[in-house]
Amino acid sequence: MIRSLKKIHWSIYLLAMGSGFLMTGFLLLIPVIPVYASQHNFSDYEIGLLIGSFMLGSLLFQFPAGVLSDHIGRKQVMVGSLLLFTISTLVYSLTTEPVPLIALRFLQGIASGAYFIGFQSYINDRTPMELRGLANGVNSSAINAGVVVGPLLGGFIYEAVNIQAPFVVAGLIGLVLIPVFLAIPRVEHQEQIRQWNELLLTLGKIKQVMAPVFTPSALSLSLVHFLQLVGMTIFLISASLIASEFLGWDAGDIALAFAVNGIAAVIASPFVGKLSDREGSRVLVMFLGLMAMSVQCLVFYFHPGAALIIIGFIIGGAGTPAYYNSFFAVIGDLTRINERGAVGGFIGSFGQFGSFVGGSFIGPFLWSVFTVDTTAGICFLLVAAAAMMAILTRSLMYRQVMRIQKSEQT
């Protein structure tokens, strides 16, 4: 493991540090935004738009941001997204009107989607195939640390100072990170545009961009990711309700369980990433990660007791990076450098659409028509179906990887 870590380019570690801090900045706002909205007398409809606008921004712009990163560079897209996040977050603390706040939250969603497709593509550009899982694992550990720390820190700052303070802190984090990301070197062999009019869309350019997206392997991976995010979003929005209704947990118990889940992900991430780098293991590790997440949903469906629920959270926490590290590395394996952003962006946008559908429609429908624990059962079925599809399309993806390797050698 240590020997492999030494082989990873230094920029990946700088990127991981920045990603961890930026994720902290994004999630600082999670416990604050609903309170902020209710204090200023937003209606339930406006609060829903405020929360949903972030996801909508990421959904709509992740694919265009990926295409843009193929033409102007990953670094430029990441720095631009950091600048957008910084400005929109700092301005957030200066207004209390619903329409500007919803628009700013939409811009934060654009920044999030653009940044994440930029760094995912950069890791795959910078890292050879035999290290991609581990490199994604290093970055994933930092991101999951931000997932654990962000909401806790946001709540603490809110209680210690005032409700505007988390927005200021999050914006300052983005501001400090801009020079850090400017120090990341560009991948030298990536072709970039020479004139801005090269970005103008023509029929020929649209066909060129979409051709690698509409390959059987990319579409299969898109569907796997869609099913996974539909299922896990349904689970995430209902887990607190299930724990409260069937186990009698309070907010502290629920927060602790999710913290255990995040810690398991931080610890497991580099190890499962390294495991996925073994020859022929990428999709298998992805399958195992999906099955681990489905087990977490199944345990919640039966809600057998606190101890087994925590074990389920640990299993699901370890399974999350097993899936994501392998998933991002597979995207790199399946694509050439000049198409990687477009393919990754399309898959990411399609997955975000799954989150939107699961969180906004399927989840609320299930617990209103049936019972709230039904959502966990549906999550199990959807994520297990994603795992089955991944393993069934393994040979299809492997053949595409062989074609890419052969074309790069000639």
193-to-72, 113, 126, 196 alpha-carbon distances in Å: 6, 22, 19, 7
Q: What pLDDT does 240 receive?
A: 81
| One-letter identity of residue 12 | I
Residue with tokens 């941001």: 65
Query: How far is residue 308's CA from residue 4's CA, in Å, rounded to a whole number?
Result: 35
Query: How far is residue 91's CA from residue 57's CA, in Å, rounded to a whole number?
Result: 17
Query: How far is residue 369's CA from residue 169's CA, in Å, rounded to a whole number?
Result: 41
Contact yes or no for 37/46 (Cβ under 8 A)? yes
DSSP of 174-196, one letter per residue?
Answer: HHHHHHHHHTSPP-TT----SSG
Closest CA to 150 of 131, 165, 170: 170
DSSP of 336-397, one letter per residue?
Answer: -TTTHHHHHHHHHHHHHHHHHHIIIIIHHHHHHHS-TTHHHHHHHHHHHHHHHHHHHTHHHH
**For 203-361, where are the alpha helices, taking DSSP H only?**
203-210, 216-247, 251-276, 282-302, 306-334, 340-357
Q: What pLDDT does 364 receive?
A: 85
CB atoms within 10 A of CB 130: 12
Contact yes or no for 331/348 (Cβ under 8 A)? no
- 286 is written with which tokens? 């992805």
Identify the burial level of 175 via C-beta atoms within 10 angstroms of its C-beta, where 0-12 means exposed, 13-18 middle and 19 or more buried. Answer: middle
Residues 6+ away with beta carbon under 8 Å from 116? 62, 348
Q: What pLDDT does 410 receive?
A: 61
Domains of the chain: 1-183 (1.20.1250.20), 204-405 (1.20.1250.20)
Q: What pLDDT does 267 receive?
A: 93
Q: What pLDDT does 269 receive?
A: 94
Task: Kindly give the confidence (pLDDT) of every residue in the chain, 410 residues in length, as a single tens digit, with 9 standing for 90 and above.
Answer: 778 888 899 999 999 999 999 889 888 877 777 777 777 777 767 777 777 788 888 888 899 999 989 888 899 999 999 999 999 888 877 777 788 888 888 998 999 899 999 999 999 999 998 999 999 999 999 998 988 888 888 888 888 888 788 888 888 998 999 998 998 998 865 555 555 555 555 556 677 778 888 999 999 999 999 999 999 999 988 888 888 888 788 777 777 888 898 899 999 999 999 999 998 899 999 999 999 999 999 998 988 878 888 899 999 999 999 999 999 999 999 998 888 999 999 999 999 899 989 888 898 888 888 888 899 999 999 999 999 999 999 988 888 888 887 776 66
